[in-house]
Amino acid sequence: MGQAYSGSVVCSAVGTIAPSNWVCGVSGLPAWVTKNCFPQTSTTIICLLGGTPSAAATSVTTLTSTADNAATVSVTGSLRVTPRLCDLHITGQGVLNPATDGLLLLRRLLGLSGQALIDGLGTSLNYSASELQQFVDNRKYTGLEAQPTALISGQIVLRLMQSVADDQLLVGTTLPPSATLTTAAGVRADVNAKCDANF
């Protein structure tokens, strides 16, 4: 979800006679998918698919090959969009902001909930306190600790949001003995990969 998707499907003719008036179609795709089908050879048609999903869902798709001089053949599959395991855009306002997204993350990792979670943010939130709480609980970064804490994971993610350089990113932070990431560059790369960020 939120990440660009690209894929392709191919119709291939089997046998020695090339098909005539041949169509390779894909139906049942979600609205966000664009489709462009074109002949690759006289016996192969390729359909390129692309787009960016904005919501989690599973779509049942059908690939159909039809030709005037051959039988129609269909194959059914599915296209599944899953939510990101980590998402730092907590307020849903499109811009990552340490004063809102970062503060909500830290407050939740400190155990705050309900009105205490959103008090004093000074911004128009798109979600209720309970929705924000559930969002953080389900999509917080878990690359450093089995159960993320405000003093380790929260502090490091907030520093990344504030564009802190690698030489200061881990200063004063004691990583848990089980942490497999021990360098600032490694942590930065892991957060970027898991949270679809660009720190």
Residue found under tokens 């949270």:
195
Q: How far is CA 58 from the centre of its chain?
A: 14
Residue 5: what pLDDT? Answer: 87
- Residue 13 gets which letter from DSSP? -
- Residue/partner pairs of 127-132 with CB below 8 Å, 24 or more apart: 127/91, 127/92, 132/90, 132/91, 132/104, 132/108
Q: Which residue spans within 70-119 are E strands per DSSP?
A: 73-81
Q: What is the mean pLDDT of the chain?
A: 89
Residue 127: what pLDDT? Answer: 82
Residue 123: what pLDDT? Answer: 65
Cβ(9)–Cβ(26) under 8 Å?
yes
Is CATH 2.60.40.10 the right assignment for the domain spanning 5-81? yes
Where do the structural domains in the chain lie, given as residue ranges? Answer: 5-81, 98-195
For the chain, which ranges sit under pLDDT 70? 2, 123
133's enclosing H/E stretch is helix 129-139
